[in-house]
Chains A and B, each alone.
Chain A
Amino acid sequence: MDTSSVKNSAITRSELPLRVINSTPEAIAKAKSRVRRSFRQIRTETVFRQSLIIMGGFMVVLVLGILLTLIVKSVPSIKSLGIKYLWSGTWDPVHDIYGAAPFLVGTLVTSFLALIISIPFSLAVAIFLGEYYPKGWLPNFLKNAVELIAAVPSVIYGFWAVAVLVPIVRSLETHLGARQPIGNGILASSLILAVMVIPYAASLGRSMIQLTPSVLKEAAYGLGATRWEVIRSVILPYTKSGLFAGILLSLGRALGETMAVTMVIGNTSKMPSSIFDLGNTMASVIANEFVEADKPVYVSALMELGLVLFLVTVVINMIGKKIIDRFTND
């Protein structure tokens, strides 16, 4: 409902309603206070409306402020290191050599590996909850469990990974004959990330699959298709953009995830050469080195990493949201 078309300032103020002019003094006083009260209400209303607008604007200011801070603080590094900062492969703050390539590679490799591992699982959850069993105690349990995966704090995942996952990966590496079976590294981080990002793609995929028009499914059943054929040739093609959006949102999460990765990835600034190697992601290098950064260029180089991380996650999330909007509006 649109109430904003009535301008409060257009209402002129008169102290006294006409009907009480020739009345007793008490009636006049009562009428006056009543009028004053209603004008006070109108003033409060105007103030309230304005404060709502300020709050709406506050969100915009906040995001612009974050973006601006990141840009301003990374200007020294952009100026002195230039664009080759992004693909030069040596990170040596002691000698003032900054190249972000190892972290970019580390971030991309861990995130995509995690995504590849998690896709079958999140897709299975989405199909199971969206198509096979939308209701009942078993799917309810699964749904709550998957939501719980999203609720557990990332530092707890990290701690668990340090205590349980890393030894498992270490013995796996020994079996596979890796050069240095440490356990920490890109593989362990990808595994823990994979667990953490399952819920995002799964819950979105589930709601998308439920949006498939039943007419389409029934038509396919009417032609004699089995359930698997309906899923493969009706549901998946119909929902593929929505599923893709869910995977994008998972990717956004994986790229920005800090604590769990920081705790298991090993934190070396060398370019990783295999998935068993130690590495670093953009987020983990900021978490580890930001407090120690003593030179302005060092801080600025870390801020530039933050800026890259911010822009990448924003773009990914925006594309995901756009796809979802288009999908749900059709």
Chain B
Amino acid sequence: MEIRSVKYRIGKNYGFKALVMIFAFACVIPLLFILFFIVSKGITQINWHFLTKVPKPVGEPGGGIANALVGSILIVVIAAVIAIPIGILGGIYLSENRKGRLPYWSRICTDVLQGVPSIVIGIVAYFWIVKPFGFSALSGSIALAIMMLPIVVRSTEETLKLLPSSLQEAGFALGMPFHRVIFKIIIPVGTSGILSGVMLAVARISGETAPLLFTALGNNYLSWNIFGTMHSLPKLIYDYSTSAYDEWKNLAWGASFVLLLWVLLLNLLTKLITRKWKVQL
């Protein structure tokens, strides 16, 4: 190594530090830009009318996103109802069985599922559910549930792994059967971790559009029928963002604001939970 003067090396040190800081904080700029833009464009759209009316035909002013709001909530809730029990049980299975062939493959498949592009899950769900039963909100929920599963499984497993085994052993020593140890000791102790995983998963699927393109389709009228087509916030944003009409674009801005608010709220809640109970995710 060639010998440089100390001053040169110290200067280089500071230069590099400045460079790192500039690049690191440059990441925040587009985020702030996006947040600011969505909020400033969207917040003016929000009023009671916007939240309770369905979109008007082209050319008429006004209209709202009630159909997409109801659809989004229903689809996400059903997806969560499907995915949470399966995900938590799967997570318990993986944390209780560290070794063995099935847990190994199960773990790998969870990782694989986490990385599968959402559009692929969309087309697979199309062939599984839409082909035999027709377009429905339920098929969208199932596609989203598949996306949710690996996150719930992984967070449950990671949370339960960190619990001391003495908790379990104490339960067994008192003669508790396995399922009671799990439901009365392990899950209550791990609630915060499991809950934050579930909320992250819900936040993630709330903004997911690609699986809904071929499953829930869209519906310009307010619908409560989960066996029929249904609109959703991300789908509405996608449809209206490229439209040529300003009314529709404004609806999309408002919808983006609502969606962003919901996702950020979920993330914030997760943060608070993890901080309060000191969960490591």
Chain A residues in contact with chain B, CB under 8 A? 1, 3-4, 41-42, 44-45, 48-49, 51-53, 55-60, 62-66, 69-70, 73, 120-125, 127-129, 132, 142, 144-149, 151-160, 162-164, 195, 198, 202, 226-229, 231, 252, 255-259, 263, 283, 286-287, 290-291, 302-303, 306, 309-310, 313-314, 316-318, 321
Contacts and interface: CB of A to CB of B under 8 A. Distances in A.
B245 interface: no
Contacts of A1: 165, 168-169, 172
Contacts of A146: 27-28
A291 B214 contact: yes
Contacts of B127: 69, 73
Contacts, number: 254
Contacts of A321: 111
Contact of B16 (A51, A145, A228): A228
B102 interface: yes
10 contacts: A56-B97, A64-B109, A121-B24, A121-B27, A125-B23, A153-B209, A156-B259, A227-B13, A258-B209, A303-B123
Contacts of B58: none
Contacts of A153: 206-209, 234, 259-260, 263
A66 B237 contact: no
A314 B112 contact: yes
A147 to B, nearest CB: 7
A69 B124 contact: yes
Contacts of B237: 155-156, 159
A122 to B, nearest CB: 8
A306 to B, nearest CB: 5
Given A59-B106, A258-B119, 14 more contacts: A59-B110, A60-B102, A60-B109, A63-B109, A66-B121, A69-B124, A127-B24, A128-B20, A145-B28, A159-B237, A160-B37, A227-B17, A256-B115, A263-B242
B238 A259 contact: yes
Interface stretch (B63-71, B84-92, B187-195): B84-92
Chain B's interface size range is: 35 or more
A159 B31 contact: no
A212 to B, nearest CB: 16
The interface residues of chain A, by DSSP majority, are classed as: helix
A160 B34 contact: yes
Contacts of A124: 19-24, 26-27
Nearest to A126: B24
Interface stretch (B73-81, B175-183, B221-229): B175-183
A151 B264 CA distance: 7
A52 B96 contact: yes
Interface in B195-237: 203-204, 206-210, 213-214, 234, 237
Given A263-B238, A290-B123, A62 B16 contact: no
Contact of B264 (A58, A62, A66, A148): A148
A142 B24 CA distance: 8
A310 B120 contact: yes
B234 A306 contact: no
Contact of B172 (A3, A44, A306): A3
A285 to B, nearest CB: 10
A318 B112 contact: yes
Contacts of A51: 89
Interface of B: 9-10, 12-13, 16-17, 19-28, 30-31, 33-34, 37-38, 86, 89-90, 92-94, 96-97, 102-103, 105-106, 108-124, 126-128, 146, 149-150, 153, 165, 168-169, 172, 177-180, 182, 203-204, 206-210, 213-214, 234, 237-238, 241-242, 252-253, 256, 259-260, 263-264, 267, 271
Contacts of A159: 237, 241, 252-253, 256
A120 B210 CA distance: 29
Contacts of A163: 37, 241
Given A1-B168, A303-B123, A59 B264 contact: no
B123 A127 contact: no
Contact of A48 (B116, B169, B179): B179
B194 to A, nearest CB: 15
A1 to B, nearest CB: 5
Contact of B20 (A62, A127, A198, A258): A127
Given A42-B177, A56-B93, A228-B17, A309 B182 contact: no
Nearest to A47: B179
Contact of A310 (B116, B203, B209, B210): B116
Contacts of A125: 23-24, 27
A59 B177 contact: no
